[in-house]
Amino acid sequence: MHQAARLEFERVMDEFVRWHVVPEDERSPAPAWWWGPAMAVVDDQEPMSSAWCAELGLSEGTSFADGARTILALFVEQTSLTGPQDFPSIAEGADHDVRELHPQPSDDSAFQP
């Protein structure tokens, strides 16, 4: 497996652990940014660590491919997307302020003739 793919999947697993401890009724939908790292290892037959297997509810020695399919299965019936401000818990994200972005005057001073 390519080392970059492994690092990205490791990040997903760290986030999965944080997400999974949130009670299901307070948990945000699975974040779409997990899709790419899972797809990057979906054909990798190398066994995952026993800790990751346990976190995903898989038997020890399960491959990265099976772990990736478990992550991807979270999206099957999902009907909404999670924004970074709502991860890992909807309740945590409920307090964020919605910001309106207004156009700013351009600063052309850097490009003086």
The pLDDT value given to residue 6: 86
111 pLDDT more than 50: yes
The pLDDT value given to residue 110: 56
Higher pLDDT, 99 or 10: 10
Q: Could you report the per-residue pLDDT of 50-108, keeping only the tens digit for each?
A: 999 999 999 999 999 999 999 999 998 888 878 888 888 776 444 444 455 556 566 55
Q: How confident is the model at residue 24 (pLDDT cuts 50, 70, 90)?
A: confident
57: left (phi over 0), alpha (psi -120 to 50) or beta: left
Cα end-to-end span (Å), the chain: 52
The pLDDT value given to residue 70: 96
